[in-house]
Structures are given as structure tokens and as C-alpha cells.
Amino acid sequence: MFDRILVVDWSARATPSPRTPSPDAIWTAEAGDTPRYHRTRSVAADAIAATIRDALDRGQRLLVGLDFPFGYPAGFANRLTGQADALAVWDWLALHVEDAPDNANNRFQVAAKVNRMFPGTGPFWGCPPAHAGPDLTATKPGPEHGLPDRRHVETLVRSAQPCWKLYTTGSVGSQALLGIARLEQLRRDFGPDIAVWPFQPADSAAIVLAEVYPSLLSDAVRAEETRTGDPIRDRVQVAVLARALARMAQSGTLADAIGAAQCPHLPEEGWILGAGAEPALRAAMP
């Protein structure tokens, strides 16, 4: 189904990453190539766009996997936008998120704005003390906002963090807020050449964006760390997952992984590519 696979490990840093390649930063890997390090989201987004343009110029199909949630638990999209549609949330976030070339951003202010639309303190939580207030708390709020803590896919992949958590170890909520805004800009730049799976059919465009979760291959990542002695897990896991997805594309099992997305709220919540098809994903490793 795809000629090329690109996997992206995203970051919500508020300042540029160190000049020396480091963990907890943005890493990208195309299957068969050396992983690349990006100090800012702006530089990474430009690199992704360049890969997309190159694939289009060559008439190739490209899958871009990014490691942050593409959607939120059922009920959120409709409350925020009036539509039970994750891509309506993408449009809303693109209008409200500010993300500068030096990584300075307003993610905590955006989360607080969203929280004000919900009962209680709202669903988003986690922030440095300087950003805490009545509309965004440093600790997890009560259930008054009325939304599930997890998407359906996250009830199956229990190690995945809830998208509401914005700060501290393991959080992925900030990456989603900032990442979705960047991806929406790519959608606007490339128009019908891009489809976002599973909200749009994976066979409808030359370029497909999909949510991935490298920890689905945690055993293979640890084995590769041991084999190579590489101390930067982000760098290892993008390379491992890109290779596995490329092998699945070659063998035809990637279509099965795409078809494994089964959720009554799929247009709102999205899905992790590979969830429900873990045996095929692991089998793609050497």
C-alpha cells in the first residue's frame, strides 16, 4: 500500500532542544535511513513537509506515523465544536494554538480556554505552578467535566497515557495539542493529497497521516538498544517502528492493521495504528 514509511517521535518542549542530539526531543526516521534529530517543531514540520513534497514529486505513496493522539474521548469534539468529528477539533486547535519557531507556545492557555467550556475544572490537567489556576490544575480534576478518561483504544493499550495529561512524566496531552495544530497546517498546505487515518480512508490519498505508539514494540526496542548500545530511546524506537511498518507494507499485513481499528466512536477518537494487530506488528521484526 505504501512505498515509503516515515515515523516521528514528537516533543512539546517550550525551548529548542540541545544542539547535541538528545532524548525527549523530536526524532524522525524513514525506513532504511538514519534517524534525524530536530531541535524545534518548526524545523521538524518543515522536514516532514519536504518529505511529503518529495514523495508527491516521485509519485510515491507515503505513510507518516506520529506518536501522539489524533483524537479525544467521545463527547469532547461535539462539546468543543458542535460536531462529533475529530477533524473539527483539528481546525479549532489550528486557530487557537500559537507555536513559535523557537518552540515558545501557548498550550497551557489553550487548555485552560477549553476547560472553561466544561463543568468543573474541565478535562485537561497538569502544568507548572506558574500556569496553575481555576481553569487548569496541576493535579487530576474530578469527573465533573463528564468525559471519559481514556479513548477506547487506550483501554486496550493500557500503557498509553490519557490525552488530558499535559505535564510531567509520560504525559502526551501537550504533544497532541501542539502536534495536531501542526498537522492541520500540513492538511491545508497539501489539500486532497493528504488523508488522516482513520478519519479518512487510507486509500484515498497519496499521503496518509496516522497515529502510532512505538511502545507497541517495546521488546524489540529494548533488544535494539542492547544490540547497538544507543542511549537515546527516541532515536531507536522511530527506526524500529519504521522498519516494522515498512515490512508490513511489503508483506500486505499493514492493510490488516489498518482494518483492525474497531470503535463506535472512531470519527471522534481515532486509533493507534497497530493496536489490535500486535502479533502482525511483532512478526514484522527480524
Q: How confident is the model at residue 1 (pLDDT cuts 50, 70, 90)?
A: confident
Place of cell 480556554: 113
Split into its structural domains, the chain has a count of 1
236 found inside a domain: yes
pLDDT digits (tens, 9 = 90+) for 115-163: 999 999 999 999 999 999 999 999 999 999 999 999 999 999 999 999 9
pTM of the model: 0.98
Reported residue count of the chain is 286
- Residues of the domain holding 249: 4-69+180-283
pLDDT digits (tens, 9 = 90+) for 90-106: 999 999 999 999 999 99
Phi (first) and psi of residue 8, to 5 degrees: -125, 125
Over the Cα atoms of the chain, what is R_g? 18
The span from the CA of 68 to the CA of 8, in Å, is 9
Q: What pLDDT does residue 286 have?
A: 78
Smallest CA-to-CA distance from 14 within 110, 105, 124 is with: 105
258 found inside a domain: yes
255 found inside a domain: yes
Smallest CA-to-CA distance from 173 within 204, 151, 205, 156 is with: 151
211 found inside a domain: yes
207 found inside a domain: yes
Tell me the Ramachandran region of residue 111: left when phi exceeds 0, alpha when psi lies from -120 to 50, beta otherwise: alpha
162 found inside a domain: no
195 found inside a domain: yes
Q: 231: domain CATH number? A: 3.30.420
> Longest C-alpha distance within the chain, in Å?
52
77 found inside a domain: no
* Residue 16: count of CB within 10 angstroms of its CB: 17
Tell me the Ramachandran region of residue 66: left when phi exceeds 0, alpha when psi lies from -120 to 50, beta otherwise: beta
pLDDT digits (tens, 9 = 90+) for 65-95: 999 999 999 999 999 999 999 999 999 999 9
The span from the CA of 149 to the CA of 5, in Å, is 31
